[in-house]
């Protein structure tokens, strides 16, 4: 198995009451509430924790990015990835990931990722995401073209990595007379690509068609099984049999020496669900054109009070009961995680371990217990279940995109 550490890097040092008063803190909540002095302290704290996770035995460091929101300070995942490429020695640097539709120049992104891969000596995992709905608005990108831009940017990046230049690209959303970057990845044919997501069927299908591992982001056990069934069906249609190496799962887990302290700190996971910071307005989170028509209809009806939240609104206690949040002593967490592994069978396991106002001391203790006591037991159980990671399975298949560039590249 591949076991990686993750945190959202929240901007916890601000007046949360102001956020709750305003309500929808993702997008238009004023950045006057951001304190750069505290931001500097937190950035360096998070960096030290990532380095500590490597020292304690994590296989990878998972990074992501969000925009215009206090629940995540990481505005560009590649910045932290660049630092980690230089200051770490062993861990995989897993980007889950770069929001492709927000990229005005995918070639520049391809160059950045190639540099990270070379500096890290081949430790980059380059995940790609569509980006949140409100982030399309935050960066001035038309959400109606989100999936089109995602697919075209992906195709251009992969071709940039695998086909020697110069060549010309004349697509629907990107036009480049000369594609010939000097920086190309160390890994061949190109760095592994993993695709994270929640419940988008379209993204699951696309990932399976490309043989990319799909990382389920803290979905319920039953919803995760539905995702795998769909992935497996598409994989068979594409001519291969999917296994644990194609499946990833991100779980919120907080470990402490006592159950009482673990539960207290684990309640900080509710930041992302609005209990402490507020949420994006449903219409902003799913602007017109971003989601499928049926999905958007559900969120709009929820926004105007005619329906329940399509993703539910479970309490902390309910999430702990259904194992969307795992917290406790190492032994308690190990037993819960074993049950989760047996139900979802992932070859990639991400541990979202610290969030909100968890202190620096408790965060480090959680990392130590997680990496030195929980992960070894999980790794052994994974071996018994035959849960191989992509690194333990066959090498990634090189795909020739030159015959499948729907937006065409004129060479």
Domains, in order of start, for the chain: 2-393 (3.20.20.30)
Mean pLDDT of 316-323: 95
Q: How far apart are the first and last CA of the chain?
A: 41
Residue 309 has pLDDT above 90, yes or no: no
Tell me the pLDDT tens digit for each residue of 126-170. 999 999 999 999 999 999 999 999 999 999 999 999 999 999 999
Tell me the pLDDT tens digit for each residue of 331-373. 999 999 999 999 999 999 999 999 999 999 999 999 999 999 9
Higher pLDDT, 44 or 399: 44
Residues 278 and 340: beta-carbon distance below 8 Å? no
pTM (predicted TM-score):
0.92
Higher pLDDT, 52 or 19: 52
Residue 305 has pLDDT above 70, yes or no: no
CA distances from 247 to 48, 98, 211 (A): 29, 19, 11
Higher pLDDT, 200 or 358: 358
Tell me the pLDDT tens digit for each residue of 95-138. 999 999 999 999 999 999 999 999 999 999 999 999 999 999 99
**pLDDT reported for residue 78:** 98
Those residues whose C-beta lies under 8 Å from the C-beta of residue 314, and which sit 6 or more positions away, are: 322, 324
**pLDDT reported for residue 291:** 77
CA distances from 356 to 28, 84, 287 (A): 20, 23, 27
**pLDDT reported for residue 171:** 97
**pLDDT reported for residue 280:** 81
Which pLDDT band, with edges at 50, 70 and 90, does 403 fall under? very low
């Amino acid at each position: 198995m591949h076991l990686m550490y993750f945190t959202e890097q929240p901007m916890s040092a601000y007046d949360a009451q102001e956020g709750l008063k305003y309500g929808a803190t993702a997008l238009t909540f004023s950045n006057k509430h951001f304190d750069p002095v505290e931001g500097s302290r937190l950035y360096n704290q998070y960096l030290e924790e990532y380095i500590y996770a490597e020292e304690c035995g994590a296989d990878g460091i998972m990074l992501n990015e969000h925009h215009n929101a206090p629940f995540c300070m990481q505005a560009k995942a590649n910045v932290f990835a660049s630092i980690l490429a230089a200051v770490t020695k062993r861990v995989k640097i897993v980007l889950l990931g770069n929001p492709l539709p927000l990229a005005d120049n995918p070639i520049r992104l391809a160059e950045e990722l190639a540099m990270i891969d070379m500096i890290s000596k081949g430790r980059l995992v380059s995940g790609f995401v569509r980006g949140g709905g409100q982030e399309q608005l935050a960066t001035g990108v038309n959400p109606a073209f989100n999936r089109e831009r995602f697919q075209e940017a992906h195709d251009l990046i992969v071709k940039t990595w695998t086909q020697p230049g110069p060549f010309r690209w004349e697509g629907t959303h990107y036009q480049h007379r000369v594609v010939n970057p000097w920086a190309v990845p160390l890994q061949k044919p190109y760095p592994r690509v993993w695709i994270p997501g929640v419940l988008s069927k379209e993204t699951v299908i696309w990932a399976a068609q490309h043989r990319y591992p799909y990382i389920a982001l803290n979905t319920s056990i039953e919803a995760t099984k539905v995702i795998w069934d769909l992935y497996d069906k598409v994989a068979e249609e594409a001519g291969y049999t999917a296994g644990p190496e194609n499946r990833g799962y991100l779980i919120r887990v907080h470990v402490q020496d006592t159950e009482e302290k673990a539960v207290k700190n684990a309640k900080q996971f509710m930041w992302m669900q609005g209990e402490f910071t507020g949420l994006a307005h449903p219409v902003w989170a799913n602007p017109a054109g971003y989601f499928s028509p049926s999905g958007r209809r559900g969120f709009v009806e929820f926004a105007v009070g005619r329906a329940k939240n399509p993703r539910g609104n479970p309490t902390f206690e309910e999430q702990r009961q259904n194992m969307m949040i795992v917290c406790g002593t190492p032994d308690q967490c190990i037993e819960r995680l074993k049950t989760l592994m047996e139900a979802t069978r992932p070859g990639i396991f991400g541990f979202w371990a610290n969030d909100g106002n968890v202190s620096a001391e408790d965060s480090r203790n959680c990392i130590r217990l997680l990496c030195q006591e929980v992960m070894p037991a999980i790794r052994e159980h994974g071996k018994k279940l035959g849960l191989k990671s992509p690194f333990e399975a066959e090498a990634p298949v090189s795909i020739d995109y030159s015959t499948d560039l729907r937006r065409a590249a004129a060479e």
